[in-house]
Chain A
Amino acid sequence: MPGRLETEFRAKRAAGRKLLVPYITGGYPGWQEAVRACAANGADAVEIGIPFSDPVMDGPVIQQASQAALEAGVTPQSVLDEVPGLDVEIPLAVMTYYNLVHHPGPERFAANLQRAGIAAAILPDLPLEESDPWCEAAAAHGIEAIMLAAPTAPDERLPRVAERAQGFIYSVGLLGVTGERTSLAHTATDLAARLKAITDMPVLVGVGVSNAEQAYEATRVADGVIQGASMVRRLMETGPDSVGDYVAEVRAAIDRDTVTG
């Protein structure tokens, strides 16, 4: 049976809504206000980054935010401890790297997420072949294991990723790490289309979706978008309120063609 995140996303998609998932680095000053601002301005879920020392899928902006949080003494548990107090209605996911799962053990990590009220998790350095221990532990604790699909995946791989995925499929928008780009890569819509053709799981494009216009473009094919660096840069430069304004702007763009809200 699908979990809370997937259930909500499927229902919203059925109602004609495009899905918006901002990413916020947990532990960076003002992150809690930023998550609330996302929720208040039209986000459908928020992805909370748990900072890791070696974030190999992240570009300079998110690296910088993670490093600042770590230097301030932020730990995985200190981020999770704040989650119940966020008091938002939308589902929350975490994004982190596999060592922070492996170190306490998948079972304990999944239990910690469950206790904090987290719905789902994204682990960008855990590919399909290595995902069994995590997916079993996640399932045991009601955590949806969001899987990533990459533009380099051959056709035979995508159905196996889709089969394993829960919540939604994270369709990696380009060959590269997180960060803002001047235009949406053609790989973003190409891969989303390939995934849409083989699965009815919600497909969200992330990595390299950098502004409202690109979000609009991506959601002409995909069910939604994840935006990270453009959120975190605003959090770092101008604070949580500007994140809320930006979420509203992206929301308006992806709703542009929607007749009923």
Chain B
Amino acid sequence: MSTNPETLSAPPDATGRFGDFGGRFVPETLVPACQELEAAFTEAWADPSFRAELDEVHRLYSGRPSILSECKNLGARLGVRLILKREDLNHTGSHKINNVIGQALLAKRMGKKRIVADTGAGQHGVASATAAALMGLECKVYMGAVDVERQALNVFRMKLLGSEVESVESGSRTLKDAVNEAMRHWVANVGDTYFCLGSVVGPHPYPYMVRQFQSIIGDEAHTQISDLTGAMPDVVVACVGGGSNAMGIFSGFVDEPTVRLVGVEPAGGAAIGKGVPGVVHGMLSNLMQDEYGQVQEALSISAGLDYPGVGPEHSYLADIGRADYPNVTDDEVIAAFRLLSETEGIIPALESAHAIAWLMREAPNMQGQTVLMNLSGRGDKDVAQMMDILADADGNV
């Protein structure tokens, strides 16, 4: 394990590692493609014209910058100053658009005609389908059969946007299997297909590249919260599945030593809380696995966090003690989902509700603190599911 004393927001080392985590564990077939992508991203990220184009799409299409909202009602109830970074207000309803706009522009720059994506809740799939429609790329989205069923609206959305949706019947039929199938597709079509991964996971350079594309959240929030409060927050908190929204907001504060970073995992998919280091989807990172190393199924109320692994940079931040990764139960998440809706008029995505659930539990120990929370997505996609869970026969909550 090594820490870079200069800055924690530095790129990974030449082998794609953050400390001990990351790397590039892919079939030989994909190694040249990963190398090509690394070179293309490095070159594009350093090119002012690429950054300007990305910035323009963010402003004129996605609706950036996303605002900060101060939750005065809920904050007063919990005894904290609660400020939300409103990624739920982005086009397509979550932070996922930040990453896919970047990757789709990169795919075009690399001369690729098609993108293939994995999706859990469907948010990354919808965002990928959206970016593909905007930029004239073909798009194919792999989605676990279980998720296809529980997120039917997002499946239809992707089709409406002109994408093909492939239901994955192998393994646990959720996000991890969708990633496997997308990788298999990439192995077979590596020449003309761009693999648009949805989180800070996968082989190098994906964890770094996706973090950079999501770092706009942290960059904006750093300035915005300074303007709003005149100081750094005490705590920055976000939900963590693969961990892209969390890395996005953490990246703006990781080098602020007074700011506590908290990534909230689902109890049924707590890769850092309950897993040990392992290798899947091209990376060495914390992973929920059995005593033999078979990858376990994640089971949580939110499809977007049903992932047994986590981005390697999170494993690193946990390893060096820079960030904490508590977990919350589905029941706590349901309560949080209701509480934010009722007190602030904001229906959060079930994923984002994990961060609220943690704050509800921990607020008694944090009285008077300023909490910056990344509200990674909006809850429209979850309303039907919550109706089944919460409503009585007359539809009353």
Contact = CB atoms under 8 A, between A and B. Distances in A.
B25 A103 contact: no
B74 interface: no
B191 A177 contact: no
Nearest to B191: A175
A102 B293 contact: yes
Nearest to B278: A99
Interface in A53-71: 53-57, 59-60, 63, 67, 70
A98 B203 CA distance: 14
Interface in A19-71: 52-57, 59-60, 63, 67, 70
Contact of A124 (B27, B188, B293, B294): B27
B98 to A, nearest CB: 27
B292 A76 contact: yes
B279 A99 contact: yes
Nearest to A75: B292
Scoring A104, A128, A149, A150 by chain B CB atoms within 10 A of each residue's CB, the highest score goes to A150
B23 A100 contact: no
A56 B278 contact: no
A176 B280 CA distance: 18
A63 B287 CA distance: 21
A148 interface: yes
Given A67-B171, A129-B24, A177 B278 contact: no
Scoring A54, A55, A129, A130 by chain B CB atoms within 10 A of each residue's CB, the highest score goes to: A54
A172 interface: yes
A152 interface: yes
B275 to A, nearest CB: 11
A113 to B, nearest CB: 15
B27 A129 contact: no
A54 B24 contact: no
Contacts of A157: 31-32
A150 B34 CA distance: 14
Nearest to A124: B27
A152 B293 contact: no
A103 B24 contact: no
A102 B295 CA distance: 12
Contact of A172 (B29, B189, B287): B29
Contacts of B95: none
- Contact-residue size bin, chain B (C-beta under 8 Å from the other chain): 35 or more
Interface stretch (B176-184, B206-214, B313-321, B377-385): B176-184
Contact of B170 (A63, A100, A126): A63
Interface string A142-156: 000000111111100
A161 interface: yes
B29 A98 contact: no
A87 to B, nearest CB: 26
Given A76-B292, A176-B187, A98 B27 contact: no
B187 A177 contact: yes
Nearest to B289: A103
A125 interface: yes
B289 A99 contact: yes
Contacts of B386: none
Nearest to A147: B28
A84 interface: no
Given A175-B190, A176-B187, A176-B188, A53 B294 contact: yes
Contacts of A76: 292-293
A130 B24 contact: yes
A152 B190 contact: yes
A154 B32 contact: yes
Contacts of B282: 125
Interface string B1-38: 00000000000000100000001111111111100000
Nearest first, the 6 closest Cβ-Cβ pairs linking A and B are A103-B293, A176-B188, A150-B28, A150-B29, A53-B294, A53-B295
Interface of B: 15, 23-33, 170-171, 176-177, 180, 183-184, 187-191, 276-282, 284, 287, 289, 292-296
Given A75-B292, A130-B23, 9 more contacts: A53-B294, A57-B184, A59-B184, A63-B171, A103-B293, A104-B293, A151-B29, A153-B32, A175-B190
